[in-house]
Amino acid sequence: MESNNNQGIFKIAIGVLIGVVALLSYLFMGARNETFELQKSLTTKVEELSSTQIKLDSISRALDTKIAEVKQLGGNIKELENVKAQLEADKKKLKSDFNFSVAKYDAKIKEYENFLVVKDDDIRKLKEENGTLLARTKTLEEEKQQVITENTGLKTEKEGLTQTVASYTAQNDDLKRKVTLATAMKAINVQVAAMASNGKLREGGLYKSSKVDRLKISFIMPSNPVAEKNTKDIFVRILDQNGAVVSEDGKGGTLQFDGKEVGYSVKQGIPFENNDQKVDILYGKGSPYKAGKYSIELYSEGFKIGNGAFEVK
C-alpha cells in the first residue's frame, strides 16, 4: 500500500516537472522572439539614421558648392548661408534625437532638395546675366579703346592746329607790327632854334646859354596814306651831355617805350592833317642851360619818330 502511494507521488512529481519544463520552454521561446524583434527594430532604426545622415551630408556638400559658385558669380549668398546653418543644426540634432522619425526627416530633406533645385535655377540665371554683362563689358572696352584711339587722333590734330594757330598768330603779330610801323608818324628835318627872352630867334644849333630862354623845336610830319587823321601826342625828350632828361616841374613825365618807362621833357598834342605839315614845339626850362651838347628825341604812339641836337657854349 505504501509502495503504491510512493509511485503516485513520483508520477505527480514527474508531471509537475514536465509542466515546469514546458513552461520554461515557452517562456524562453517568447523571450527569444521578443529579443529578435527588438534587434530587428534597432537594426532598422540604425539603417534609417545612417541613411538620413548620408542624405543630410550630401545636401551640406551641395550647399557648400552652391555658396562657392554664387560667391564667384558675385551673387548674394545670405539665404544659402542661412539654409546651411539650419541644415547643420538638423544634423547635430539627429545625433541625439531619441524621438527620431524618418518621416519627419524625409520631409526636411525634401525641402532642402527643393531649395537646391530653386537655387540651381537662380544660378543659371545669374550665369546668363554675368554672360550678358561680360559681353557688354567687352563691348564697352572695345568702344573705350576706339574712343582712346579717336582721342589720340584728335589730340594729334589739336596739336597740329595749335601749332598752325600759333604760326598764324605769330604771322599776324608780325603783320600787325609791320602795319603799325607803316602807320607810325615820322619827324624829319628836326631843327632846334634858341629864342631869347626878348623873342629874338637864333638858328644854327650853337647858342650862348644867356641867349637861350626857350627852345623852338621844328620838324616836318610827312603824309602817310595808311595813317589816321587825328590828334597825335608828341613827346619831346631833351637829354644833356650826361644823358639825363632836362625837365621842368609840371611839364615832364614818363612814357612807355620798348617795354621800359622813360622820362620826357614836354608833351604836346598835334592835330595830324596828313599833308607834310610843319610842327613847332616851344619849351622853356626856366633856368640857364649848362654848356655842352644836347640831343632831342621825339616819340609818338609808342615809337621813336625822330631826333635832333643842339649845343650850348
pLDDT for residue 244: 94
Q: What's the residue count for the chain?
A: 313
Contacts of 247 (CB under 8 A, 6+ apart): 238, 263, 264, 265
pLDDT for residue 4: 58
Dump pLDDT digits (tens) for 23-78: 555 555 555 555 556 565 556 666 777 788 888 888 889 889 989 988 888 888 88
Reported as half-sphere exposure (CB side, CA atoms, 13 A), residue 209 has a value of: 10
Confidence check: pLDDT of 12 > 60: yes
Closest CA to 60 of 116, 127, 125, 123: 116
Round to whole Å and give the CA distance between 297 and 276.
Answer: 20
Dump pLDDT digits (tens) for 110-153: 888 888 888 888 888 888 888 887 777 788 888 888 888 888 87
Q: pTM for the whole thing? A: 0.45
Give the domains, in start order, of the chain with CATH numbers.
Answer: 1-183 (no CATH), 188-312 (2.60.40.10)
